[in-house]
Structure 1
Amino acid sequence: MLKNKIITFLLMIILLFNLSACGKNTETLKKNRQINIYVGVKDKESLNIIKFLTDEYKKKNPKAKVNINNAIGEKVDENVSESSDIDIVIASRNDMLKLVRKGLLADMGNMYEQNKLTDKYYTSVKSYGRFNDRYYGIAVMPYTIEILCNKSAFDKLGLKVPNNIDEFNASLKIMNSTSMRVPVVLNEGMDINNTLFSIISSNMITMKKLENIYDSGPSAYKKLTEVQKSFDLLNDLVKNGSISKDTFEIGNESSLKKFDKGDIPVIIASSYYVNNLKSKNIKCFEYYSPNSKSQLKVPIMADAIMSVLISSKNTEETNEFIKFAFGKDVQKKLSGKGFVTGFKNSDISKDGIKKCVITHLENSTEDNIAFIYNVPESFKNNISSKVDSILSGKYTKNEWNEVVDESS
């Protein structure tokens, strides 16, 4: 009997000690809540969105420490490989693919399922983080490339506002003959020539086909003979006088203001900037040709993809941050600032240009991802160079093979 009492007494002491230790450990964990985020993008538009997300998270979780490390140099994959304390990396799709191939990123399939991201986000937004049927990230913010026309400016020129791609080409031909330029207002990480190529190549090749041969070497890429058709089509547009090396120019916020006032008839812009446009005379152009069997695909761009490192040491906080960043409340706050996000049910005015952007996102698939985001990064400059050459009247009929050789 005495022996049983002694054993019971000892068990109670051990239990009390364990409860005390657990309490201290829980308290320590709460005090030490932190997350380390590596930001590998440098364009101001993405950085603005990332800052908003991290600031909102800090407000909601004042006890959590959010450490932001910005990229040093251009080698994001090397920086991440050499670090041992990164939980989340925000980088371009090209850098995401490099990290996937090095085995550094976690499969986010469970996170997608737990947070119902598959149901809540548009297909193209999810596809930016997918590779070989696995999710390794999610686009922080999608941007459609919109061709916008101002009716009052067209009226001043005595021209009809184009309703489809064929009418638009005819309008471009008239404007080109008068040396009138089309401003292109893009996020800092985008390039006019590559954007033009993405618009032209939008119906030429599937994302899956590009994924299957990603970084597989010159011979695999040279078999994609359909890519040359994009360069051929660009040359046709130059030959018939629709566009030339002087058609497009780098636009800015001043260009947007002039366009909004009706001083510029056409502008090509990232949907990041549609909140700057207020005029009811502005029409969102549809990528449609009556002479084509299908509607052209609107290129969807995403400069920043959020991924989780497989070596993350702060798993719980990492999961909480992603759940917060892509949750309903913070996405609605972004919508309240005028952004059209990748979240399907955000409270945003569905009038005018924004309605058009939403429609383009709703109808988007994995094949709306811009061509340049599904080939190795070395291809970008060479594609841009070939586009520049064609716009200047230099056409070889062998541009794609040349791009592949120069990128290898």
Structure 2
Amino acid sequence: MKKIKNVIFIVLIIILNCNLVFGCSKGKDEPKGKLSILIQNNASQDVDVINTLIANYKKAHSQIEIKIENMTENEKIEKVTVDKPDYDVLICERNMMISMARQGYLSDISSNVSNNKMIDKFYNIVSTYGRIDDKYYGIGVMPYSLNFIYNRQQAAGYIKGADEIDLMSLLRMSKEKNIKIPVALPKEMDISLAVASMIADNIINEADLEKNFDVGREKYSKFGKMQEVFKFMNTLFKDYGVSADKFVLSDNSIVKKVESGEVPFALVTTLSSKEIDESKNIAVVNSNIVDGSKVNPPVIIDHLVCQLQNAKNKDEVVRFLDYLSDDESYKTLGKEGIITGNRSANSQLKGLQSQMIWAISVANENNIIFYHNLPYKMKPHIIEQTKNLINGAYSGNEWQTIVDKTYTEKK
């Protein structure tokens, strides 16, 4: 009996060793893949998160050779991705995604969005940013919203009996008390553009902008809602003192000063969430800016991950998109106090951080920031006009000027 037991024991060891050997051999025989990624505008504030996600992906898939290239010239990006099929993935802004998708240069990734249950795992705005008409062409990486925050005690001293302070009350207080407004915005977002975006969110139907994307001078000239945005900016300048010298540039450290009461309020984004912790002294301003309305603040996603139509390594693209659709990819960020678009990762946030998630969690297509639904060639002309407005130079013809400058034929 003892001999039989010994024989069985020896056989089991042999089987186990064989499994280990073959298992190791199998791992070594896994095919080595390639993935080439082109990133538009690598200077935006969300790029650190993108780089972190890609670095973590490299660790999990060390057998894949990943090439990353950054490019800032928009026209050059469209040209090289079409003329030279050297790239598999394009990480770009929404307006570039719309332009390239409608020219047939991007792949429809609707099946990936559906198979990975992205609608359930992520807030609606993440998939909405990547949707054009009824198809998905991109996955949003890092949504963030514009938020005025204020110190509860300081504001209560200025605005008596206010349970919830709205933006117009805050601006009125700023004018009457001659208080400067510190701003901590991504460096690529001009303060005048931020003001215009909060107004546009209350006035414009973003679906109309998407539907009429890059329709040209004649049709854009008839889009009068845009001029209403600039008209209201002029109202804010005249009646509420919202001018260029009202704002003071700052950084994310301004959150601590609002917390201590050193300054009563500031304009920040949810990218500042790591500085907020579990604050009990800070609240978020109700952002309705038009009387009788209560509109969520605009939500920005600066980068969307898209599959190029002529990608050579389509299987590796799918693997990468699967990774970006997985809860586990974002949980480390959530533990660091970073607000993402992933529901599971954000469930780890507490206090004011969880309050700031609200704008992102309920956002829909009408909270897409307006200039992402306009051609990227328009943006410098929009900034030029919005800067004029917060310096008091209102012409009543801002939108037409933007359209004319965008579509003036080059000689």
Shorter-chain TM range is: 0.7 to 0.9
The 1:290/1:66 distance shift into structure 2, 3 A limit, reads closer
Shift in Å, 1:253:
3.4
The 1:107/1:200 distance shift into structure 2, 3 A limit, reads same
Give the counterpart letter for 1:57 in structure 2: Y
The answer to whether 1:68 aligns with 2:38 is no
Q: Which residue of 2 aligns with 1:251?
A: 250
The 1:372/1:289 distance shift into structure 2, 3 A limit, reads closer
Q: Which residue of 1 aligns with 2:152?
A: 151
Matched position secondary structure for 2:342? coil
Equivalent residues in 2 for 1:34-53, closer than 5 Å: 34-53=34-53
The answer to whether 1:386 aligns with 2:391 is no
Q: Which residue of 2 aligns with 1:228?
A: 227
> 2:280·2:352 contact (CA, 8 Å) conserved in 1?
no
Q: Which residue of 1 aligns with 2:32?
A: 32
In the superposition, the TM-score normalised over structure 2's length comes to 0.85
The 1:112/1:29 distance shift into structure 2, 3 A limit, reads farther
In structure 2, how many angstroms separate the alpha carbons of the residues matched to 1:251 and 1:158?
23
The 1:381/1:132 distance shift into structure 2, 3 A limit, reads same
Matched position secondary structure for 1:77? helix
RMSD between aligned residues: 2.3
The answer to whether 1:139 aligns with 2:140 is yes
Equivalent residues in 2 for 1:211-360, closer than 5 Å: 211-278=210-277, 279-288=279-288, 291-292=291-292, 294-360=293-359
Give the counterpart letter for 1:366 in structure 2: E
The 1:32/1:256 distance shift into structure 2, 3 A limit, reads same
Shift in Å, 1:213:
1.2
Shift in Å, 1:159:
5.0
Shift in Å, 1:283:
0.7
Runs of 4+ displaced beyond 6 Å = 26-29
Q: Which residue of 1 aligns with 2:197?
A: 198
- Aligned residues with identical type, % of pairs: 27
In structure 1, how many angstroms separate the alpha carbons of the residues matched to 2:260 and 2:211?
47
Give the counterpart letter for 2:254 in structure 1: S
Give the counterpart letter for 2:280 in structure 1: K
> 2:34·2:64 contact (CA, 8 Å) conserved in 1?
yes
Q: Which residue of 1 aligns with 2:166?
A: 164
* Structure 2, unpaired ranges of 5+: 1-25
In structure 2, how many angstroms separate the alpha carbons of the residues matched to 1:290 and 1:212?
25
In the superposition, the TM-score normalised over structure 1's length comes to 0.86
In structure 2, how many angstroms separate the alpha carbons of the residues matched to 1:73 and 1:224?
28
The 1:258/1:27 distance shift into structure 2, 3 A limit, reads closer
Equivalent residues in 2 for 1:34-113, closer than 5 Å: 34-71=34-71, 73-74=73-74, 75-113=76-114
In structure 2, how many angstroms separate the alpha carbons of the residues matched to 1:213 and 1:186?
29
In structure 1, how many angstroms separate the alpha carbons of the residues matched to 2:80 and 2:247?
36
Shift in Å, 1:325:
1.9
Matched position secondary structure for 1:236? helix
Q: Which residue of 1 aligns with 2:13?
A: none
**How many aligned residue pairs are there?**
378
Matched position secondary structure for 1:346? helix
Matched position secondary structure for 1:322? helix
Shift in Å, 1:196:
0.9
In structure 2, how many angstroms separate the alpha carbons of the residues matched to 1:338 and 1:319?
29
In structure 2, how many angstroms separate the alpha carbons of the residues matched to 1:277 and 1:347?
14
> 1:389·1:395 contact (CA, 8 Å) conserved in 2?
yes
Report which stretch shifted further, 226-235 or 160-169. 160-169
Report which stretch shifted further, 200-209 or 141-150. 200-209
Q: Which residue of 2 aligns with 1:366?
A: 365
Shift in Å, 1:93:
1.2
The 1:181/1:76 distance shift into structure 2, 3 A limit, reads farther
Give the counterpart letter for 1:146 in structure 2: N
Shift in Å, 1:153:
4.2
> 1:194·1:380 contact (CA, 8 Å) conserved in 2?
no
Q: Deviations over 1:283-342 (max 9, x none)?
A: 1112246941x3123100011110011112222221111111220111222211211111
The 1:44/1:235 distance shift into structure 2, 3 A limit, reads closer
In structure 2, how many angstroms separate the alpha carbons of the residues matched to 1:401 and 1:389?
15
Q: Deviations over 1:238-296 (max 9, x none)?
A: 1113312211232223434433432221111121112112442111112246941x312
Q: Which residue of 1 aligns with 2:118?
A: 117
The 1:297/1:154 distance shift into structure 2, 3 A limit, reads closer
In structure 2, how many angstroms separate the alpha carbons of the residues matched to 1:245 and 1:71?
31
Report which stretch shifted further, 241-250 or 254-263. 254-263
In structure 2, how many angstroms separate the alpha carbons of the residues matched to 1:406 and 1:29?
58
Give the counterpart letter for 2:103 in structure 1: K
Give the counterpart letter for 2:405 in structure 1: E
The 1:347/1:213 distance shift into structure 2, 3 A limit, reads closer
The 1:244/1:188 distance shift into structure 2, 3 A limit, reads closer
> 1:140·1:302 contact (CA, 8 Å) conserved in 2?
yes
